[in-house]
Chains A and B, each alone.
Chain A
């Protein structure tokens, strides 16, 4: 058990270091999120009565698109230099490796994205209670999106046009979390997260084994 924890820590450290050295990916995903969310108030009627009810939904869709952009290459770099083989050959179960990678992505992109969301919500004239509710729903929602993207990325690994195909797999699967999240129903988003945690890492592991075999 102790050695699993050691490996888990090294995995997180590896992902953080790599993300720091490849900052552009990180920054572009976050900038994309901010820009998409800011375009809607500019394009729509600036009447706060119209914008306020839209805010939650628009921010959720923006988060969905930003994670799609940020994570469809989650395993591609590791595949290209051969380190994915070594990740599969570490003594810890592959499920833990996948959860570790997803956790690191959550820290790196998820947390800043969640912190940005209430600020962006104020553009829609949200009250602080509404902004708080949105933030909490994203705390549960963003991990769902990351886990689904990991499965999509693993399924389409090494394929031409894999990014687009991965989006076609991930977007329909994220509809439940989008519906519950945008409506602010946090307990249902939590339930979807539990369900995703129970299935997505296993699907990702199986897909990775097939992609490399």
Chain B
């Protein structure tokens, strides 16, 4: 479904990676590892279409993602380093607005349930600026539960989460893969997934 063809990326005159070819099929998860500065974040951003590769293509269902941009964007969800939680909105507003902008209208009750499951009970209406970094990360994770994206692109998803939080991420990923979803995850930590084959891609420094 998602195929990377001979991807190459230059940063200034440094070559981050070249001739990267891989594919991710329904039910599969690809874990990206590699030292700092090896281009994990850049690769994820290229897979999202936020950044252009120097060479090569990203293919979604047989077509270049630049050609099917709108359809592709409605099939993916991205969770980056900066997770896009707005400090001046409450957890609930962040969640509902994010889903609404992605074309999924989520009722108040469903959003509250998602926030409860992810470990933020009773804090739905607190402004995000009064929450801790890990709690904001959890709001971002709750988005994964509510959007209907087929492909998850997650960058350093386990940072600033405690043990229970990391466990929730694993449960979410397992469920997503069991439902035939796909995921590309950049992380140094072991994912310990029980579902599906886990491919690994090690980027060299």
Q: Give chain B interface residues in 44-93, CB to chain A under 8 Å.
A: 48-52, 70-71, 73-74, 76, 78, 80-89, 93
> Would you call B51 and A212 a contact (CB within 8 A)?
yes
In the bound complex, what is the Cα–Cα distance between A13 and B81 (angstroms)? 26
> Would you call B88 and A91 a contact (CB within 8 A)?
no
Partner of A212, one of B50, B105, B127: B50
> Would you call B89 and A89 a contact (CB within 8 A)?
no
Q: Give chain A interface residues in 75-91, CB to chain B under 8 Å.
A: 77, 80-91
Q: Contacts A7-B100, A14-B97; is A82 near B81 (CB within 8 Å)?
A: yes
> Would you call A21 and B85 a contact (CB within 8 A)?
no
> Would you call B48 and A89 a contact (CB within 8 A)?
yes
> Would you call A6 and B73 a contact (CB within 8 A)?
no
> Would you call A82 and B87 a contact (CB within 8 A)?
no
In the bound complex, what is the Cα–Cα distance between A213 and B9 (angstroms)? 12
User: What range describes how many residues of B lie at the interface?
Assistant: 20 to 34
Is A10 at the interface (CB under 8 A from chain B)? yes
Interchain pairs with CB closer than 8 A, number: 82
In the bound complex, what is the Cα–Cα distance between A77 and B52 (angstroms)? 24
> Would you call B78 and A13 a contact (CB within 8 A)?
no
In the bound complex, what is the Cα–Cα distance between A81 and B87 (angstroms)? 8
> Would you call A7 and B82 a contact (CB within 8 A)?
no
Chain A: residues with CB nearer than 8 A to chain B?
Answer: 3, 6-7, 9-11, 13-14, 17-18, 21-22, 77, 80-93, 212-213
Chain B: residues with CB nearer than 8 A to chain A?
Answer: 48-52, 70-71, 73-74, 76, 78, 80-89, 93, 97-98, 100-103, 105, 127
Further 6 A-B residue pairs, CB within 8 A, beyond A81-B87, A90-B102, A91-B102: A6-B100, A21-B88, A81-B84, A85-B82, A93-B70, A212-B51
